[in-house]
Structure formats: C-alpha cells, structure tokens
Amino acid sequence: MTLRVAVADDQPRLLQTIVSILEREFEVLGVFQGGKALLEFVCEKRPDVAVVDLGLPDLNGLEVIRKIREHDIATRIVVCSVEKDPDLVNAALQAGAACYVWKERIASELNKAVQLAAKGEQFVSSRE
C-alpha cells in the first residue's frame, strides 16, 4: 500500500522540491503553504504522514503538531526544517513529531524518514 502524505512549507520553490522527492515513493494528497490549511486537511483527510516546516505562517509547525495530537489523529509527523537547535528538535519530538529532517538533507533522508514515521519509528538527521 502506498503511503498518503501531506506537505506544508512556506517557501514555494522548496515546497515543489519536497513534493517531487516524495512523489517518487508516496502519494502526495495535499500541498500547503500555511499551518492552518495543513491542519484542516489532516483533520479531514487523515493522511498517513504529514511533512511540516516549523516556520509556517498563521500557525507554526510546533502548533500544528500539538493540535494534530490534541485531536488524537493517527497521522505521523515528519518535521523538515533548517533549524538545528537541539532544544527545537527536542521540542518538536516532544510535541509529537516522529522524525526531524534538516532541509539540506531532504534529497537523501526525507523518504526514509517518512517510511520510518509511518512505522512509528523515530529518526533525526545527524549533526555530522
């Protein structure tokens, strides 16, 4: 079965790159540039995985993660961010994200992270 994925990033060019990477292995159900739109979509369509940027307008990535968890939705979360601050990474994982991928590593790590998240496993890009 093909995993169903939703994606949100506020940078249109990067969003297009992320989608093209994901489409190689997954069904991309929804693409968004804001947190509120992603949250509404996840609540309605319940994709297997949501790929979320932390710096989203109108509702940041951490809030999106928390609200998905508050609604007790089974969608797994993969954060895709430029932020490498360990406190922010931990905050995302504690909020309910399964995986955290640095944007500079999306080509090599994003699809792996989505697969692991769907299985309930954790993954964080290494600092090296």
53 phi/psi in degrees, rounded to 5: -85, 145
pLDDT of residue 21: 97
Alpha-carbon span 113 to 107, nearest angstrom: 11
The three state secondary structure string of 41-59 is HHHHHCCCEEEECCCCCCC
For the full predicted model, state whether its pTM sits above 0.85: yes
Residue with the two structure tokens 């890009």: 125
Give pLDDT tens digits for 22-71. Answer: 999 999 999 999 999 999 999 999 999 999 999 999 999 999 999 999 99
**Domains in the chain, ordered, with CATH?**
4-124 (3.40.50.2300)
At 128, is the pLDDT very low, low, confident or very high (cuts 50, 70, 90)? low
